[in-house]
Amino acid sequence: MTETARNRLIEPHRNLETFSLIWCDADVDRTKENQHTQSTLRSTINYLKVFDNIDISEEYIKQNPDNKIVLIVSGKMGEQLVPHIHDLKQIYTIYVYCTNNAYHEIWAKNFPKIASVVVTMKDLIKSISDDHIHRREIDEAEMKCSIFNPATSQQQESNASFIWFRLLIENIMRLTEGPSIPELIQIATQQYDGNEKEIAMIDDFSSTYCAAKSLYWYTRESFLYRWLNKCLRETDIDMIVYFRSIIRDISQQLALEKSFDEPKITVYRGQLLGKHEFNSIRSSELSYVVMKSFFSTSKNRVKALEFAKQTPPSDILEVLMLEIEVDTKLQLIKPFADISYLSDFKEEEEILFSLGCLFKVKEVVRDVNENVWIMKLILCGDDDSNVMKDVYDDLKNRIHENVDLNSFADFLRDMYVGFESETKYRHLHEIFSLQNDDDEDPDVMLFLGEGYDEAIAFYQKSIDKYMNSSSNINYAHIINIHFEIAKQHAYKVENADVGVDYLEKIIQDLQSKINDCTPLKRANIYLNIGQFYSTYLKKYEKALEYNEKCLDIRRKLLPDDNELITEVESTITRAGE
């Protein structure tokens, strides 16, 4: 990969941590004390942006609705700015730094997100640092999971997302190509440039990390823990590929360290859960959840309950305590282990579950004595028959033991994840060290085919390349390229019949290969066949037959609002007009 391409992979000004720190003050860069304080504050919240203009700072805040912003404002600017931005969801906490706290505390009382009004730099730094411990605890306690309810339609969005996330984990665990730890270190060095504390940690990681120390590094207060959990919780594909080796290392280390004398244990966790998800689980007779990150629990019920009771609920989050029954001898499960020996708080008796562990919801009850919701879960094996096992197993069994670029890109594209355009697909190629002008790569060749004569030659070359590149020939790709050739013939009026004859022969010759494709690939092929019957053969009943086959598959596997579903629904609607 060229240096230019490497630098494009992660935007240089993108915040890879959860919280951002914004300081708005006319004198923010004018005094040495302020400049020194900026450096000190970055040891607590690394991503810092400063503004000396109210309008520019307000515009920036409003343009970043997905951020979690900790805001420092001077008294004068705060009095004008805070009323405009206080109620925005991205504003997490506000600190007013001023010289006249008696005056500014009066208006500040009207804004509950203002944590404190301070007059000294020392108090400002201490307040932000002390409060940030609790901020992070609250953020990390928010439960990010996919939910499955067997009683509802398979096409329900949450059920499809549940299957998709489990398949994503399988692909990531088997991914053998792409950037890994060296590239991750390079990005971290850029992100923390000027932050002495973090740079020292990165240097230590660079020189000491190995698979055997993966759990040690995961439990350390470092960029690895913060970045990994954020990208998993947000399903940030671009960043997840950088962590592929570390994710695999941690999971394998948990498997090696799993050792329990007790056949059954119960673990606990104080938790926040979105009220929509909470009500969905509570109202269902049976639900399953799969965790979207590595999942820390405690054998100490008192500690977990303590956290749940001291955390106030909000308009969008419910506070609860998870109580999880664990059969330590259960087979076919994601690994988990006691990692108390790595914790600074050994009395918590920490049990860490691997990414993707599956749990069944036993019941949700209100503990009236403790005044807290208790969600009782049971750890399940991956072979549980209630969680669309047939569909999941069929898709999982088609994943190769070693997943390469093409297989991973196919999975994402079939699920329509992050591929809103060809540009995003090319971006994934860049991440995997492939260049856009590499005409030896069949996927790139497929995209570059344009112009009738050039396209036919290009597509044929791509087919030859696929047929000779691997013993595991990807016939879904082959079939799609044949479709492109047929379309190129049909675009030329004088060759329309050639295109029709070509396509019908391909459908006949490759019918068995179509049946062997994964369901989503088969759906894509059916849609292409339907469109061709409609556009070039004018056989609308035949087109409808294939379009409905496509829709049936996609509804079973994708969320209701997925663009791939609306695409084929629109096609069917237009055909009926």
Compute the average pLDDT of residues 260-280.
91
Name every residue whose Cβ is closer than 8 Å to that of residue 415 and which is 6 or more positions away in sequence: 164, 167, 520, 558
Q: Could you tell me if 116 and 189 lie in one domain?
A: no
Closest to 291 in 3D by CA, of 148, 155, 393: 148
- Which residue intervals of 347-451 are DSSP H helices? 389-397, 405-414, 422-431, 442-448
Asked if residue 302 belongs to a domain, the reply is yes
The pair of three-digit structure tokens given for residue 315, joined into one six-digit string: 């308009």
- pLDDT at residue 540 is higher than 90: no
Query: How confident is residue 7, by pLDDT bands cut at 50, 70 and 90?
Result: very low
pLDDT in tens, 210-223: 999 999 999 998 99
CATH number at residue 286: 3.90.176.10
pLDDT in tens, 63-86: 999 899 999 999 999 999 999 999
The pair of three-digit structure tokens given for residue 187, joined into one six-digit string: 């990005």
Query: How confident is residue 191, by pLDDT bands cut at 50, 70 and 90?
Result: very high
- pLDDT at residue 2 is higher than 80: no
Q: What is the pLDDT of the chain when averaged over all its residues?
A: 81
- Cβ distance 90 to 69 under 8 Å? yes
Closest to 185 in 3D by CA, of 204, 213, 165: 204
3-class SS at 268?
strand
Domain assignment of residue 241, given as a range = 157-256
Q: Could you tell me if 458 and 569 lie in one domain?
A: yes
- pLDDT at residue 413 is higher than 70: no
Query: How confident is residue 422, by pLDDT bands cut at 50, 70 and 90?
Result: very low
pTM: 0.75
At position 203, the amino acid (one-letter code) is D
Phi, psi of 284 (to 5 degrees): -95, 145
Task: Write down how long the chain is.
Answer: 577
* 158 alpha carbon, distance to own chain's centre: 15
DSSP conformational letter for 347:
G
Asked if residue 201 belongs to a domain, the reply is yes
Asked if residue 561 belongs to a domain, the reply is yes
CB atoms inside a 10 Å sphere around CB 519:
17
Q: Could you tell me if 175 and 88 lie in one domain?
A: no
Q: What percent of the chain has pLDDT over 90?
A: 39
Q: What percent of the chain has pLDDT over 70?
A: 78
Q: Could you tell me if 415 and 507 lie in one domain?
A: yes
Residue 390, burial from CB neighbour count under 10 angstroms (0-12, 13-18, 19+):
exposed
* Measured CA angle at 126 (ends 233, 228), to 5 deg: 15
Q: Could you tell me if 189 and 107 lie in one domain?
A: no
Compute the average pLDDT of residues 476-486.
72
pLDDT value of residue 399: 72
Number of domains in the chain: 4
DSSP conformational letter for 86:
T
Burial 155-175 (b: 16+ CB within 10 A, else e): bbebbbbbbbbbbbbbbbbbb
The pair of three-digit structure tokens given for residue 417, joined into one six-digit string: 């994840």
β-pair partners for 363 = 376
CB atoms inside a 10 Å sphere around CB 346:
10
Q: Could you tell me if 200 and 230 lie in one domain?
A: yes
CATH number at residue 435: 1.25.40.10
Q: Could you tell me if 128 and 175 lie in one domain?
A: no
Name every residue whose Cβ is closer than 8 Å to that of residue 74 and which is 6 or more positions away in sequence: 24, 25, 26, 27, 96, 97, 98
Asked if residue 402 belongs to a domain, the reply is no
pLDDT value of residue 263: 93
Provide the CB-side half-sphere exposure for 102 (13 A, CA).
0
* Measured CA angle at 242 (ends 421, 358), to 5 deg: 90
Q: Could you tell me if 283 and 181 lie in one domain?
A: no
Phi, psi of 421 (to 5 degrees): -155, 165
At position 324, the amino acid (one-letter code) is I
C-alpha span between 158 and 279 (Å, rounded): 14
* Measured CA angle at 138 (ends 205, 319), to 5 deg: 140
pLDDT in tens, 311-331: 777 778 888 999 999 999 988
Which range has the worst mean pLDDT, 138-152, 348-362, 466-480, 562-576? 466-480
Asked if residue 210 belongs to a domain, the reply is yes
Q: Could you tell me if 506 and 550 lie in one domain?
A: yes
CATH number at residue 127: 3.40.50.2300
pLDDT value of residue 436: 39
Asked if residue 403 belongs to a domain, the reply is no
Which range has the worst mean pLDDT, 25-39, 103-117, 201-215? 25-39
Q: At which residue do the structure tokens 């750890």 appear? A: 379
pLDDT in tens, 432-473: 544 334 444 444 444 444 445 655 676 677 677 667 665 566
Q: At which residue do the structure tokens 């971006």 appear? A: 427
Burial 213-239 (b: 16+ CB within 10 A, else e): ebbebbbeebbbebbbbbbbbebbbbb
* Rounded-to-10 torsion of CA 514, 518, 522, 523: 170
Domain boundary among 256, 279, 307: 256
- Cβ distance 172 to 354 under 8 Å? no
Asked if residue 396 belongs to a domain, the reply is no
DSSP conformational letter for 562:
-
Q: Could you tell me if 165 and 194 lie in one domain?
A: yes
Q: Could you tell me if 114 and 201 lie in one domain?
A: no
Name every residue whose Cβ is closer than 8 Å to that of residue 269 and which is 6 or more positions away in sequence: 295, 296, 297, 298, 304, 321, 322, 324
pLDDT value of residue 377: 96
Domain boundary among 391, 418, 447: 391
- pLDDT at residue 41 is higher than 70: yes
What does the H/E/C string look like for 133-165? Answer: HHHHHHHHHECCEEEECCCCCCCCHHHHHHHHH
Compute the average pLDDT of residues 516-532.
82
Name every residue whose Cβ is closer than 8 Å to that of residue 364 and which is 6 or more positions away in sequence: 278, 281, 282, 320, 373, 374, 375, 376
pLDDT value of residue 109: 95
Domain boundary among 140, 173, 196: 140
- pLDDT at residue 136 is higher than 70: yes
100-104, 341-345, 346-350, 407-411: which is most confident: 100-104
Which range has the worst mean pLDDT, 167-171, 355-359, 431-435? 431-435
- pLDDT at residue 8 is higher than 50: no
Asked if residue 376 belongs to a domain, the reply is yes
Q: Which residue has the higher pLDDT, 125 or 533?
A: 125
Q: Could you tell me if 439 and 571 lie in one domain?
A: yes
